Structure 1
Amino acid sequence: MGWKSRTSFKNCSPAPQSASWHRMEKIPRFDSRNALSWVRSENSTPAILRRLRLDLLTVRGWCVLGAGIFLVFLAFMFGRHELMALGISLVVLAGISWALALGLRGRTRIQRQLLSAVPSAGEVCRVQLHCLEPATIQEQLPEGFGRGPMLDTPGELEYELIFGRRGIHQLGPAQQIVSDTLGLVRGMVNTGETLEIPVRSELMDLHRLASLGEQMLTGDARHSRSTTADYYDVAIRDYQQGDSIRQVHWKASARQGKLMVRQENHVATAQALLILDTKFEHWCHSGVDLRLSIPGGSNEDLPSSRRFETALSLASGIGLRYSTGGYQLSFRDLSGAPLTSQHRQATSDAAADSDFDSFHAATAELALDASGPDTNASELFGDGLHKELLGFRDEPVIMIFGELTVAQARWLATLARTVRLAEVFILVAHPERYDSVQQELAGTGWKVHLLPGTMGAAGMWGG
């Protein structure tokens, strides 16, 4: 009775009110960081039945199939042709119902659309599920989210996801609930295609570290003496006596009806270098490190650790702060190889944002380098990076390490004669054991931070 009244109310409601009522519905949200938001239910069906998709048969379906096989056995024993025909009919009936239900796999056309921008870990990502065919669809979310939302089609559904970890997360394939009128088959079959969502590293809030802002200059940094890159902003002005004829802008002069000349205004943009340690043995050093597997979509999972994820969040937060301040950032690993595949096209504020966006997008697939130990344990940087540092004598250099020995710290301190403005972050499991390393770097004039990387981005500053 309640269903009928609700249906009649929907039919009598004006279309604009119905649309507004749907907009007022709360969008379901799924958060992989909340372990208590769902309960994992283990399927008690034997694995062999799930592999052959025989779990689609209901109890009634198994009874019909079993009765058919039993009648065929009796017909064989007693030679009764009518029992044989009846038994074969029951077996064929169950088989046809199973085959028709299994044949629906992949037939339903389901469309997914990412409504929000490419998310970072911890941000809300909105997805729309749409289907024009009549069906009952249950979305299949990545591992860690639990059971997905259900949709009775034709129609659409919007839901929100909060990813707790970066990587290439895979949505789908969705599962369609199939059944027949006789009640012999009921279950879920995979349908539709998958959607890969690249999730970037979490952006660390750097306002908790007050001393960081002393060296990280803001918008006025582009006019400071540390600026090395430049470009020319071309403007048009009236011709003045003494201007060269080569400066005349003939097209602008024709439009204005008077002589116009080019005036090139010199604009400087600050540069900075961020060095991120990506050596596997530096971030997975001992049993204290919590090793993680970052989803790689259709590819293999990426090796990582809790400390390296914290380092990526720190690097992303620093990169965002510098790019919004007008700096053009270069991102390098210890060998000097760029951490982003895109190359700088121009030097401007837009290019500064583009450099950071390219790096932040690359963090979705950034993996640790497990190529092996360094040939020279005392020297951290490769020849290419060492030469590049010569061009950053008065520009900010940020270094983020996962492991630093006393010999490496002593070698690193020799670079202080070349690099004046440097900020060093060492993310280790036990900062109290690195007093000797800190003493080696104490005379450089750099700012050195020994941070407990195992606490994660949220607890690093005591939050």
Structure 2
Amino acid sequence: MRALRSVLTTRGMAFFLSGILLFLAGVVLGFRDITRFGVLLVALPLISSVLVRTRKTRMRIERHTHPERISVGQDAHVTLSFENVSTSTTPLFLAEERLDYVLGDRPRFVVGRIPPGRVRAIDYAVRSHLRGRHHLGPLGVQVQDPFGLANRHAVLPGTAELVVLPAVHPLSSNRQPSAGVGSEGEQAHLIALHGEDDVTIREYRDGDDLRRIHWPATARTGDLMVRQEDRPAQRRAVVLLDPRPSAHGGSGASSSFEWAVSAAASVAVHLCESGYAVHLVCAETVETTRAAETMTADEIL
């Protein structure tokens, strides 16, 4: 009886129990028509449950997100493709995409019949108020018979991942970074002090270019001296993020840690766009020894 309840819908159970009552009433009262009608009501849900259980179809599910990475509060469009890889047409079914709770309500949609070898695509949108890696799927499906007496639930395997980046706020600067020699800014000041190239003098070595011989130094020392030219050092910045739970308060999207992540991301992106070599120091970069490496804005996010 428990297995039957898991297959029959509320309407199917009503048909089944009503059929039993009518069958018993017809036998007791001696009315054959009522007995036949009771047998019909009992048989319909049973036949429907057998048909729903025995009908097998195979589908391949693919998910494509655009864009693949979004920021907090930005919409991502997901295309869900159903490909019928069986030899028979799929029945009409109800599909429900299982999502992480931060992505909003689970989208539900009715998928029509799909002929063998054909593909049907359905689009839906998601939005997250919390950064991180969130899962799309698996897909739950529910198949019913035409009378709505029996149904079958199944979970189609396959998931996709949506990356939600921290919110990046544009930062303004009173002084724009220098664009080259002669413009205002720290780089121009450095060149004004040291020249366009930072020049040092050393002794001549075999293989050195003769065009780099520094004749005044050669005349002064009596030995061949050459110029060794070094480019000015690139401006560097270190962004530090403290992930310790004891250093932050609150929880979820409104916690101080999420605010710190957003602030660090905004500062790092601004520095990268300003021409700085940015190093990110946090628990992950320290463990992977990437804290000593220069990172781009995409790598930091």
- Give the TM-score range, shorter chain: 0.5 to 0.7
* Equivalent in the alignment of 2:290: 343
1:345 Cα deviation after fit: 9.0
For residues 128-207 of structure 1, the aligned pairs below 5 Å read: 128-133=79-84, 134=90, 136=93, 138-140=95-97, 141-143=99-101, 145-148=104-107, 150=109, 151-152=111-112, 154-186=119-151, 189-207=154-172
Identify the residue that residue 276 of structure 2 maps to in structure 1.
327
Which residues of 2 match residues 54-453 of structure 1 at below 5 A? Answer: 54=5, 57-67=8-18, 92-97=46-51, 99-100=53-54, 107-133=58-84, 134=90, 136=93, 138-140=95-97, 141-143=99-101, 145-148=104-107, 150=109, 151-152=111-112, 154-186=119-151, 189-207=154-172, 213-214=173-174, 217=177, 245=207, 266=231, 268-284=233-249, 289=250, 291-292=251-252, 305-333=254-282, 338=285, 341=288, 343=290, 352-353=295-296, 356-360=297-301
CA distance in structure 2 between the partners assigned to 1:218 and 1:309 by the alignment: 33
Q: What amino acid is aligned across from residue 99 of structure 1 in structure 2?
A: R
What one-letter code is carried by the residue in structure 1 that aligns with 2:122?
L
Q: CA deviation at 1:87?
A: 9.1
TM-score scaled by length of structure 2: 0.62
Shift of the 85–147 alpha-carbon distance from structure 1 to 2, 3 Å rule, reads closer
Query: Gaps (5+ residues) in structure 2?
Result: 29-34, 85-89, 180-184, 191-203, 211-227
Task: Note closer, same or farther for the CA distance 1:326–1:149 as it changes in structure 2 (3 Å cut).
Answer: farther
Q: What one-letter code is carried by the residue in structure 1 that aligns with 2:264?
A: A
- Kindly tell me the number of residue pairs found equivalent between the two proteins: 246
C-alpha change, 1:264 and 1:305, in structure 2 (3 Å) is same
Provide the C-alpha distance between the structure 1 equivalents of 2:128 and 2:146, rounded to a whole number of angstroms.
Answer: 40
Relative to 1, partners in 2 of residues 1:323 and 1:118: Cα closer, same or farther, differing over 3 Å? same
CA RMSD of superposed structures (Å): 4.5
1:112 Cα offset (Å)? 0.2
Letter in 2 for 1:148: P
1:62-98 deviation line (CA, Å, top 9, x unaligned): 1343256558978999xxxx99998985674254245
> In 1, distance between residues paired with 2:95 and 2:156?
10
Q: CA deviation at 1:275?
A: 1.6
Shift of residue 127, structure 1, vs aligned partner: 2.0
CA distance in 2 between partners of 1:74 and 1:339 (Å): 79
Contact 2:77 2:124 in 1 (8 A): yes
Partner of 1:204: helix, strand, or coil? coil
Q: What's the CA shift string for 1:43-77, capped at 9, x where partnerless?
A: xxxxxx9xx89566334421343256558978999
Question: What SS class does the counterpart of residue 70 from structure 2 fall into?
Answer: coil
Q: What per-residue deviation string (whole Å, max 9, x for no partner) do you get for residues 213-248 of structure 1?
A: 3589566656765xxxxxxxxxxxxxxxx9964569
Amino acid in structure 1 at the alignment position of 2:135: Q
Give the direction of change, closer, same or farther, for the CA distance of 1:61–1:91 in structure 2 (3 Å limit). closer
CA deviation after TM superposition for structure 1 residue 195, in Å:
1.6
Compute the TM-score of the two structures, normalised by the length of structure 1: 0.43
Shift of 1:306: 2.4
Q: Which 5+ residue runs of structure 1 have no aligned equivalent?
A: 1-48, 208-212, 226-241, 249-262, 293-303, 361-463
Q: Aligned partners of 1:323 and 1:145: how far apart in 2?
A: 33
Q: Contact conserved, 1:331 with 1:339, CA < 8 A, in 2?
A: no
Shift of 1:314: 0.9
> What do the CA deviations read for 1:139-178 (whole angstroms, capped 9, x no partner)?
5244352252635453223343332211222212223341
CA distance in 1, matches of 2:19, 2:160: 43
Please list the CA deviations of residues 340-364 of structure 1 after superposition, one character each: whole Å capped at 9, or x if unmatched: 8473797xxxx542xx32231xxxx
Amino acid at match of 2:133: I
Larger radius of gyration: 2
The more displaced of 158-167 and 56-65 is 56-65
Structure 1 residues 85, 163: closer, same or farther in 2, change over 3 A? Answer: closer
Whole-Å Cα distance in 2 between the matches of residues 327 and 57 of structure 1?
A: 66
Q: CA separation in 2, counterparts of 1:264 and 1:76? A: 109
